[in-house]
Copies of this chain bind each other. A is one copy, B any other.
Amino acid sequence: MLTKTSVDVSLRALRTLRLLVLVSLCVFISVSAASSPAQEGDDTEKKAEESHRQDSADLLIFILLLTLTILTIWLFKHRRFRFLHETGLAMIYGLIVGVILRYAVQVPRDTNVVPTGCFVNASPATLLVNVSGKLYEYTLKGEISSNEVNDLKDNEMLRKVTFDPEVFFNILLPPIIFHAGYSLKRRHFFRNMGSILAYAFVGTVISCFIIGLLMYGCVTLMKHLGQLGGDFFFTDCLFFGAIVSATDPVTVLAIFHELQVDVDLYALLFGESVLNDAVAVVLSSSIVAYQPQGDNSHTFEAMALLKSLGMFLGVFSGSFSLGVATGIVTALISFLFTKLRDFQLLETALFFLMSWSTFLLAEACGFTGVVAVLFCGITQAHYTFNNLSPESQDRTKQLFELLNFLAENFIFSYMGLTLFTFQNHVFNPMFIVGAFLAVFVGRAANIYPLSLLLNLGRFNKIRSNFQHMMMFAGLRGAMTFALSIRDTATYARQMMFSTNLLVVFFTVWVCGGGTTQMLSCQRIRVGVDSDQENSMSFADGSERRSTKQESAWLFRIWYNFDHNYLKPILTHSGPPLTTTLPPCCGPLARFLTSPQAYENECQLKDDDSDLILTDGDISLTYGDITVSTDATGARTSGGLATDDLDRELAYGDHELVMRGTRLVLPMDDSEPPFTDHLRM
C-alpha cells in the first residue's frame, strides 16, 4: 500500500516534471521572443524599459533552469542515482538551453549598437554624448576587439545572456568560497593540516608549472605546424596552468559524504580543494602581473619575477590577514555583545554583513576578496560560531548553504549555456588534446611525488589507493571557469576559455560520474562513522602513536596557543585567561576574561569539544589538557609531557565515553558548523 502510493507519487512527479520542462521552455521562448528589442522608438526611456525587460527575461531563463535542475535532482536523489550530481545536471540543462538560444531563436539584427566615427583621445570611464541637442551618459564597459564588433551587431540576444564576468567574482564565488571555509570539517582538517597545506600550496605551484611547461611545448609545436592563429606566450601558458590547477570536486565530495567514505581522505580532498582555489586565484593574478620592462615584454627578467613573487606573497598574506581579522572582529563583537543572542535576526544579519564586508574590504584594499572570504569563513566557524545562539547557528548555516547551492548551480548551468552562446570560442583540437594530457600529468605530478614525500613524515601513511582516488578526484569547476571567463580579449585567452570548458565538462561528468565505481575499484572503505573510526584506531597501538607524533610539530603549537589564549579571548569557552597567562599578566587577564568563563569554569564548557571529543588519540590528549588547566577539575594529569600523552592514550574507548558524558552540553554548540548535508 505504502509502496504503491510512493510509486504513484513518483510517476505523477515524473509526468509533472516533463510537463514543466515543456511549459518552462515555452514560457522562456515566448518571453525571449516577446522581449526582443522593439524596432520602433528612438526614445531612450523605451529603450531602457526594453533593456530591463530583456534582462528580466534572461535572468528568468536561469531561474527556470535552476528550478528544473532542482526538480530533476530531487528525482535522482529519490531514486538514489549517483552517477549525476546536480552540478552536472545543471550543465546539461544549460547546454540544452544554449542550443535553443543559438539555433532556434531568431532575433532581428540589432540596431542598437552604433560605432561612432569620431575620435576621442582617451577612454574615460564616463562619456557624454550629444545626440540632437540632448546629452546622454555612457559608461565604459571595456575594450573590444575588432572581430567582436560583428558579433556585437549580429546577435543581441546571445550577448544579453552573457553576464559580466565580474558577476562571478563579486556575487557568485564569494558565498561558495565562504561556505567552503565555514563548513570545513575542522577536526579532520587540523589533523591533516600539514598534508593539506603541502598539496594546496606546493602541489598547486607544481601543477601550475608542469602544465605551463607542457602547454608551452604544445603551443610551440602548434606554431611550427602552423596551427596557431595568434600569439601565445609562455606567461599565457603559465596562466593556463594556474587557472586549471584549481580543483573543485563537489561531485566527488557529495558522494563521499553520502557513502561515508574514510574521513581522512575526505579531509585531504576537501581541504586541498578549498585552499588551492585561493592559491590559484592569487597565482594567476601574479602571473598576469609579470611584466618585464623594456621592449620585449615576454622575455625572462629576474626583477619582474621577483616582483610577481612578492605580489603573490603580499596579496596572499594580505588577504589571509584581512579575512582572519574580520573573522576575529566578528567573534569579538559577538563575544562582547552577549545579549545579542536574544535577537537572532540581528545576530544573523550582523554575521552576514561582517562576512560580506570582508570581501568588500579586501577588494577595496586591492587584495583578493575570495581568499579573504575563505579565511574569514574558517575563522568564523572556529570562533564566532561558538558565540552565536543555537538558533543563529542554524540560521547562518542554512543561509550560506542556500546561497552556496544557488550560486554553484547557477555557475554550472551558465557553463553549459555558454558553450553555445559565447561568441568567440576557439576550439583547437591539438591544444585541447595537449591540455587534457597536461592536466592529467600536472595532477599526477602534484599528488604522487608529494604523497611520497609526505609519507616519509607521516606515520599514518596516505595509501596508494587514496592517492589514486585523489588523482581521480581532480575535477575542475567554478573557480577555473570564473578565472578563465574573466578575460577573453586575446586569442590565447579565448582558446584557454574554450578548452577549460571542455575540461570542466569532462571531469565533472566522467570523473564525477565514475566516483562510485572508482571507490569500489580502489577498495576504499565506505560507511565509516568518524567515531567508529576513532575507536578502531585505538585498537591499533602503532597507528595511535603515529598520529600523535605527526601532529606534534605543527598542530601542537597551534592548538596550545589557540586553546589557551585565542579561545578564551574570543569565545566564552576555554579556560579563564587568569589560569593560562603567566602571573605577571594578571590584571590584563582579569580584564580580558569574560565573566562567563569563570562561571563555566566548573562545567568546563569548551565549545571546541568537537575538535577534542570524538577525535581519537591526539585530540583526546589535548582534550585532557583542557581538564588539567581547569583549576577546579578533579583530574590530576598536568602539562604537556609526553608521559602524560602516552598515559592518556592508554585510556582508550572507555575514557572516550566517560569524557563524552562529561563534556557534551545540552546545546548543540559543539556540532561542526556544517554536516554538508546539502551535498547529499
Q: Using a CB-CB cutoff of 8 Å, which residues 383-399 of chain A contact chain B?
A: 395, 398-399
- Min Cβ gap A405→B in Å is 6
A109: chain B residues within 8 A (beta carbon): none
Give the interface segment out of A134-142, A373-381, A441-449, A641-649.
A134-142
A134: chain B residues within 8 A (beta carbon): 123, 143
Bound: A112/B137 CA distance, A: 12
A71-B333, A139-B139 known; A56 vs B363 contact (CB < 8 Å):
yes
B357 and A63 within 8 A (CB): yes
A52: chain B residues within 8 A (beta carbon): 166, 170, 363
- Min Cβ gap A358→B in Å is 10
B138 and A343 within 8 A (CB): no
A12 within 8 A of B: yes
Q: Using a CB-CB cutoff of 8 Å, which residues 1-48 of chain A contact chain B?
A: 5-6, 8-10, 12-13, 16, 20, 27, 31, 34-35, 42, 44, 47-48
A363 and B140 within 8 A (CB): no
B59 and A123 within 8 A (CB): no
B398 and A51 within 8 A (CB): no
A198 within 8 A of B: no
A521 within 8 A of B: no
B141 and A349 within 8 A (CB): no
A632 within 8 A of B: no
Bound: A567/B593 CA distance, A: 57
Which residue of chain B has the shortest Cβ distance to A115 in the bound complex?
A: B128
A78 within 8 A of B: yes
- Min Cβ gap A592→B in Å is 11
A111 and B124 within 8 A (CB): yes
A42-B123, A123-B42, A166-B52 known; A135 vs B145 contact (CB < 8 Å):
yes
Which residue of chain B has the shortest Cβ distance to A678 in the bound complex?
A: B345
A131 within 8 A of B: yes
A345: chain B residues within 8 A (beta carbon): 401-402, 405, 677-678
A44-B123, A402-B345 known; A116 vs B143 contact (CB < 8 Å):
no
A406: chain B residues within 8 A (beta carbon): 349, 352-353
A352: chain B residues within 8 A (beta carbon): 402, 406
A680: chain B residues within 8 A (beta carbon): 343
- Cβ 8 A contact of A339, one of B35, B74, B111, B121: B74
A34: chain B residues within 8 A (beta carbon): 364-365
A346-B73, A595-B5 known; A336 vs B16 contact (CB < 8 Å):
yes
B131 and A357 within 8 A (CB): no
A13-B336, A124-B111 known; A595 vs B8 contact (CB < 8 Å):
yes
Q: What is the count of identical protomers in the complex?
A: 2
Q: Using a CB-CB cutoff of 8 Å, which residues 105-133 of chain A contact chain B?
A: 111-132
A350 and B401 within 8 A (CB): no
A639: chain B residues within 8 A (beta carbon): none
Bound: A56/B170 CA distance, A: 9
A123 and B113 within 8 A (CB): no
Which residue of chain B has the shortest Cβ distance to A340 in the bound complex?
A: B74
Bound: A34/B364 CA distance, A: 9
Bound: A402/B346 CA distance, A: 9
- Min Cβ gap A174→B in Å is 11
A146: chain B residues within 8 A (beta carbon): 135
B129 and A353 within 8 A (CB): no
- Min Cβ gap A429→B in Å is 30
A127 and B129 within 8 A (CB): yes
A433 within 8 A of B: no
A66 within 8 A of B: yes
A to B CB contacts below 8 Å, 13 in the list: A42-B122, A44-B143, A48-B140, A48-B142, A73-B346, A74-B337, A115-B127, A115-B135, A128-B144, A134-B143, A345-B405, A398-B399, A399-B399
> Can you name 6 extra interface pairs (CB under 8 A) apart from A73-B346, A113-B126?
A20-B333, A47-B123, A54-B364, A56-B361, A112-B126, A113-B124
Give A residues with C-beta under 8 Å from B. 5-6, 8-10, 12-13, 16, 20, 27, 31, 34-35, 42, 44, 47-48, 51-54, 56-57, 59-60, 63-64, 66-67, 70-71, 73-74, 77-78, 111-132, 134-146, 149, 152, 166, 170, 332-333, 336-340, 342-343, 345-346, 348-350, 352-354, 356-357, 359-361, 363-366, 369, 395, 398-399, 401-402, 405-406, 595, 677-678, 680
